Structure 1
Amino acid sequence: MAGKLTTHVLDTVRGGPAAGMTIELWSVDGQTGEKTLLKTIITNADGRTDAPLLVEQEFTSGIYELVFVVGRYFSHYLDTLPKPAFLDRVPIQFGIADPTTHYHVPLLVSPWAYSTYRGS
């Protein structure tokens, strides 16, 4: 059974999916901390990506980082944000130990706070 990596973003200000948010996926070298950009995607109308971020052979054990570009997202519809924004880029670094399972990394976010967890 092949695993996969997925994400979704919920905008807690508007109470729904964060459509149109840019997300970067990085791999992180466990020895050096050096990061390699794997892909950049934009969330769809449901606040999700159209396809899993990693699947099959590209889904391997290791350290990864998702960077959610929340400052740009909120600046599109909130004109009262301070400059610079309190939250601009939200990095979530996590490990994949078992590439045969599903790893889901959701983000609940506002311009002032965020939370995440390992979802299903």
Structure 2
Amino acid sequence: MTSQITSHVLDSSVGRAAEGVRIHLRALGGQELARAVTDADGRVSDLGPALLPAGTYELVFETGAYFAARGVDTFYPHITVAIEITSADSGSGDETPPHFHVPLLLSPFAYSTYRGT
């Protein structure tokens, strides 16, 4: 299965990939659709189905557990990133549905995200 949503997490406080970050994909109402853990390169390439219907979704990154495992205090126990998939984004017919890549750059006291490619 090819996932429509992927992620890449980098820990800027140590200058390397953030291995072992749990990520949950949820519908806006809280229903969990998928979960994954970042690999040694900080990537998750299989997070959810090949096609999501139009709607608002949340990616929840468990950053508190990631930093706690390294003995580092953090201000953010988790980071929730809401994304909106419109009907125009959902693909139709024989078209390949669009890919949504959500990178996260984090440190114990700051984070940044954007829609990647």
The residue correspondences of 1:28-47 to structure 2 (distance < 5 A) are: 28=28, 34-47=29-42
Which contiguous aligned blocks of 4+ residues in structure 1 show a shift greater than 4 angstroms? none
The answer on whether the counterparts of 1:12 and 1:110 sit within 8 Å (CA) in structure 2 is: yes
Contact 1:3–1:103 under 8 Å retained in 2? no
TM-superposed deviation, 1:3:
7.8
Matching residue of 1:53? 47
In 1, the alpha carbon distance for the partners of 2:56 and 2:4 equals: 14
TM-score by length of structure 2 reads: 0.83
Measure how far apart 1:60 and its partner are: 2.3
Q: CA offset at residue 66 of structure 1?
A: 0.4
CA contact 1:3–1:59 (8 Å) conserved in 2:
no
- Residue number among 99, 102, 109 corresponding to 2:106 in the alignment: 109
Is 1:3–1:101's contact at 8 Å kept on the other side of the alignment? no
Q: CA RMSD in A?
A: 1.8
Residues 3-53 of structure 1, C-alpha deviation per residue, up to 9 Å, x if partnerless? 82111100111111100111111011xxxxx2211122111001011x331
Q: Give the corresponding residue for 1:31.
A: none
Identical columns (%): 41
- 1:118 maps to what in 2? 115
Give how far 1:62 is off: 1.2
- Mean alpha-carbon deviation: is it higher for 106-115 or for 91-100? 91-100
The equivalent position to 2:78 in structure 1, one of 80, 83, 89, is 89
Give the Cα–Cα distance (whole angstroms) in 2 for the partners of residues 69 and 60 of structure 1: 25
Number of paired residues? 108
C-alpha distance in 1 between matches for 2:64 and 2:3: 31
User: 2:93 matched to which residue of 1?
Assistant: none
